[in-house]
Amino acid sequence: DADVTQTPRNRITKTGKRIMLECSQTKGHDRMYWYRQDPGLGLRLIYYSFDVKDINKGEISDGYSVSRQAQAKFSLSLESAIPNQTALYFCATSRWAGGQETQYFGPGTRLLVL
Amino acid sequence: GESVGLHLPTLSVQEGDNSIINCAYSNSASDYFIWYKQESGKGPQFIIDIRSNMDKRQGQRVTVLLNKTVKHLSLQIAATQPGDSAVYFCAENGVDSSYKLIFGSGTRLLVRP
């Protein structure tokens, strides 16, 4: 979905390096999410934000941090990358709709940690 | 904890046949469900959703059925085409007030020519 963009699309880094993945959206949504996807597995929630001042841990937040700089931007950082963080990372957005909201996903960032 | 799961990890169908992808959910309090399609190298895309006050909803070539009695969700694709080859995820809204979506592990649909 072109309304949700992620940069970079692909990244190779070395163990111990700090890296940042960026997500931007033009949908005007208040909620943003970061997921990781491993081969053959579903999506696991890392962090989510319902507002610029709101940051919440998901089920696998260890080793990650996020920043919600503006409503349209939500960045994910790996403080010290390790090989088991090699995965496909997706950003998603949604608008609060009383429990019936749909999440819209970006194209993903493929990360390889050597 | 509560979870969303799928019966079949891979489904292979002949082009032109109908496909049925199943999903079992364990949270009886969930009241909103979504099916997503993920093509290779792309992010998940919304296909169709259904609220718990419905048992069937139809879209273009797709139908979602909800059986709350047995906590079962299915996605039916009519006249399956090669472009339907993808991984399909079901998702339900979360049990807490944040209504985060909980995703299943996915079913891969392979369409044979």
| Cβ pair A81, A113 in contact under 8 A | yes
Residue recorded with tokens 């992010």: B43
| Cβ pair B80, B64 in contact under 8 A | no
| Cβ pair A58, A86 in contact under 8 A | no
| Cβ pair A11, A112 in contact under 8 A | yes
Q: What span, in angstroms and rounded, lies between the C-alpha atoms of B30 and B111?
A: 31
Residue B98 confidence (pLDDT): 62
What number is the average pLDDT over the span B92-96?
Answer: 71
Residue B97 confidence (pLDDT): 53
Residue B3 confidence (pLDDT): 42
Residue B6 confidence (pLDDT): 41
Residue B50 confidence (pLDDT): 94
Tens digits of pLDDT across chain A (114 residues): 469 999 999 999 999 999 999 999 999 999 999 999 987 677 889 999 999 989 999 989 999 999 998 999 999 999 999 999 999 999 999 987 776 778 899 999 999 999
* pLDDT of B2 higher than 60: no
Strand partners, A21: A76
Residue A83, φ and ψ in degrees, nearest 5: -55, -30
Residue A23 confidence (pLDDT): 98
What mean pLDDT, rounded, does chain B reach? 87
Residue B7 confidence (pLDDT): 42
Show the CA angle centred on residue B21, arms to residues B99 and A107, nearest 5°. Answer: 60
Residue A84 confidence (pLDDT): 95
CB proximity under 8 Å: B 75-104 to A: 89, 93, 98-101, 103-104
Strand partners, B10: B108
User: Residue A106 has which token pair?
Assistant: 């970006």
pLDDT tens digits for B31-61? Answer: 889 999 999 888 999 999 999 999 999 999 9
C-beta atoms of B31 and A99 within 8 A: yes
C-beta atoms of B43 and A107 within 8 A: yes
Q: Which residues of B touch A101 (CB under 8 A)?
A: 93, 99
Question: Which of A40, A50, A108 is opposite residue B43, by nearest beta carbon?
Answer: A108
* pLDDT of B10 higher than 60: yes
| Cβ pair A76, A64 in contact under 8 A | yes
pLDDT-derived band of residue B94, with 50, 70 and 90 as boundaries? low
B12 to chain A, any CB pair closer than 8 A? The answer is no
Q: What is the dihedral of CA A9, B94, B63, B65, to 10 degrees?
A: 150
- Decide which of A99 and B103 is more confident: B103
* pLDDT of B8 higher than 60: no
B32 to chain A, any CB pair closer than 8 A? The answer is yes
Strand partners, A111: A11, A87
| Cβ pair B22, B78 in contact under 8 A | no
